[in-house]
Structure 1
Amino acid sequence: MRLFNIVLLVILLFSAYRLWFGHNGVKDYQKYQGDVNKLVESNQELQKRNELLAADVADLTIGTEGIEERARNELGLIKEGETFFRIIPPEGRY
C-alpha cells in the first residue's frame, strides 16, 4: 500500500509540474493571453481608423461638399467671388 501511495504522489507531482511549467502549461497560457490582449487592442484601433477612412470615402463619393472642404483646408481653395481674410494673432499669443 505504501508503494502505491508513493507512485500516486510521484504521478501527481509530475502532472502538477507539467501543468505549471511544461509546454502549453499555465505560464504559456498567460503569455499567450497577454499577446491576444495586445492584438485585440491593436485591432480595435485599426477598426476605428478604418471606420474614419470609410466615412471620408463616403463623404467624397456622395457629393462635392466633402471634396470642397478638403480643398479649402488642405489646398487653400477660394471660390470665385469670395474674399479671403487671414487673421494673424499678436506676437506671443498663439
Structure 2
Amino acid sequence: MIRWKIPFLLLLVLGYLQYSLWYGKNNIYDYQENVQILQNLHRENDMLKARNEQMFAEVDDLQKGYEAIEERARNHLGMVKANEYFYRIIIDSKAK
C-alpha cells in the first residue's frame, strides 16, 4: 500500500511546482517580461549617461575657453567679427 503513495505524492509535488513555474504568481512569463523591461531601462540609462557626458563636456568647454562661446555666437546668433564679411547664398528652388 505504501508503494504507490510515495510516487503519487512526488508526482503531485512535481505537478504543483510545474504549475507554479508556468502559471503561478511571478511565473516564467513575468520573469521574461521583467528581463526585457530591465534591458530597455539599461539602454535608456546608457543613452542618458552619454547625453549627460556630452552636456558636461560642453559646459566645461564654455567655461574654459572662448572658442566655444565664439562658435555659439556665430552659429546661433549670426554674429561676425570686426573686419569680417558675412555672405548668405540663397538658392532659388523655382529656377530648376
Same fold (TM over 0.5): yes
Q: Partner residue of 2:5?
A: 3
Q: Partner residue of 2:39?
A: 37
Within a 5 Å distance, the mapping from 1:46-65 to structure 2 comes to 46-65=48-67
Rounded to whole Å, the distance in 2 between the matches of 1:58 and 1:92 is 45
Rounded to whole Å, the distance in 1 between the matches of 2:7 and 2:87 is 92
- State the TM-score, normalizing by the size of structure 1: 0.89
Rounded to whole Å, the distance in 1 between the matches of 2:30 and 2:48 is 27
Q: Structure 1: which 5+ runs fail to align? A: none
Rounded to whole Å, the distance in 2 between the matches of 1:67 and 1:52 is 16
Matched to 1:2, the amino acid is: W
RMSD: 1.5
Q: Structure 2: which 5+ runs fail to align? A: none
Query: Relative to 1, partners in 2 of residues 1:78 and 1:42: Cα closer, same or farther, differing over 3 Å?
Result: same
Matched to 1:18, the amino acid is: S
1:73 aligned to 2:93? no
Rounded to whole Å, the distance in 2 between the matches of 1:51 and 1:89 is 38
- State the TM-score, normalizing by the size of structure 2: 0.87
- Give the superposition deviation at 1:75: 0.4
Rounded to whole Å, the distance in 1 between the matches of 2:46 and 2:72 is 27
Size of the aligned set, in residue pairs, is 93
Taking only the aligned residue pairs, the percentage that are identical comes to 41
- Give the superposition deviation at 1:44: 1.3
Other structure's SS at 2:86 match: coil
